[in-house]
Structure 1
Amino acid sequence: MMLPTHALVGLALATPLALYAPEFAPAALLGALVGGILPDLDMYAGHRKTLHFPTGYPVAAVPAALLAVAWPTAATVALALGLLAAAVHCRMDVYGGGLELRPWEGTSDRAVYDHARGEWLPPRRFIAYDGSPGDLALAALVGVPLFVVLDGAFAVVVAVALTVATVYVALRRVLAELAPTVFRRVPEPLSEYVPERYDGS
């Protein structure tokens, strides 16, 4: 699924705690936002493998959550929610489309790499692909209530995420057609970071 959806779901995971314990709201929301985004920082370095750990994040989230309950500080709360959001991010990608330039074609059997099993998990395509109308619907379903509940900088983040999501969905198929042309012109030192799927095949 697209990055704005992951960011919004991360915020949604932290919002109940932020409302219940407002003293931890900034840490909880920021930690979950970072955790929701973090796995996709591998976009140009082994996407859905380098920073995606569908087994590792949940395993790490359990002791982090216990630590946050036993010793609640801004740091422990942020860590626990960050790991939880990263775990949910990886699971969401499994329920989305495959890792391919045109995921609506359904040709890839790779969703997320599971380091614990040493294999790629197949896409289940409950949300057809990143940037699909269903992806936008999920982002809106999560984001609109967040925009009402949250305030300040986090409300701005929600508004920006929903705007970016809408534009991305409108341009998703056009971007897939442009990608091979654009990325073929990347200079040599940087070309090794261009994912193979961008070759247009």
Structure 2
Amino acid sequence: MMSPTHIATGVAIAAPFAVLTPELATLVALAAMTGGVFPDLDLFVGVHRKTLHFPVYYWGAVLAAGVLAVAAPSTVTIAGFFFFLSAAVHSVADWFCGGNELRPWEKTSEHAVFVHPLGRWLPPKRLVRWDGSPEDLLLTVLLSLPGLLLFEGPVRLLTVATLVVAVVYATVRKRVPDLAPWLAE
């Protein structure tokens, strides 16, 4: 899935706070949005969907951060919990997308996300055929609705910016390998 989808997932994860505890809503949303995009930083460092994608280990961090947030609630511990929760969801969600390849619509890779404790790649399920596919864009739009309807200020602004990036990326996705040959290196 494209990064905007993972950012929008963070907004959706934070949505209950907009209603139940509005004083924490912005903090929770921003932490979840940041956690949602964090694993994709391995596009720039290491191996994508391996270096910062931890579909198992993040859940341990979620558990530890959750215990800490309950035992010593603060903005830092609560934000940490939602950061790790969103990063964990991201890492698992990529398993349901296409393979980890420059042209995932060609289906030449059976590497969706690396599972470190097993020392192997999970094969892609391809429910979302590739990052930037029409269904990926639709998912981004749907997951962004809470950010547009329930939040104000920076969360709403970032949600709008995320949607703009998603539309542009989905529009040019199939041309990205030709436009940016350095990605293949």
TM-score where L is the length of structure 1:
0.87
Name the % identity.
45
Aligned to 1:155: 156
Alignment of 1:1-201 (within 5 A): 1-45=1-45, 46-180=47-181, 183=182, 198=184
Which protein has greater RCO, CA pairs closer than 8 Å, 6+ apart? 2
Maintained 8 Å contact 1:113/1:121: yes
Partner SS, residue 85 of structure 2: helix
Residue 114 of structure 1 deviates from its aligned partner by 1.1
Residue 146 of structure 1 deviates from its aligned partner by 2.1
TM-score where L is the length of structure 2:
0.94
Distance in 1, matches of 2:72 and 2:25, equals: 16
Structure 1: stretches of 5+ with no match in the other structure: 184-193
Structure 2: stretches of 5+ with no match in the other structure: none
Distance in 1, matches of 2:131 and 2:168, equals: 13
- Write the letter of the residue equivalent to 1:8: A
Residue 152 of structure 1 deviates from its aligned partner by 0.5
Residue 62 of structure 1 deviates from its aligned partner by 1.1
- Greater C-alpha Rg: 1
**Could you say what the CA RMSD is over the residues aligned between the two structures, in angstroms?**
1.3
| Alpha-carbon displacement from aligned partner over 1:69-104 (angstroms, at most 9, x marks no partner) | 232211111000100000000011100010111101
Q: Work out the number of aligned pairs and report it.
A: 184
Residue 22 of structure 1 deviates from its aligned partner by 2.0
Residue 179 of structure 1 deviates from its aligned partner by 2.6
Distance in 2, matches of 1:25 and 1:7, equals: 15
Maintained 8 Å contact 2:18/2:151: no
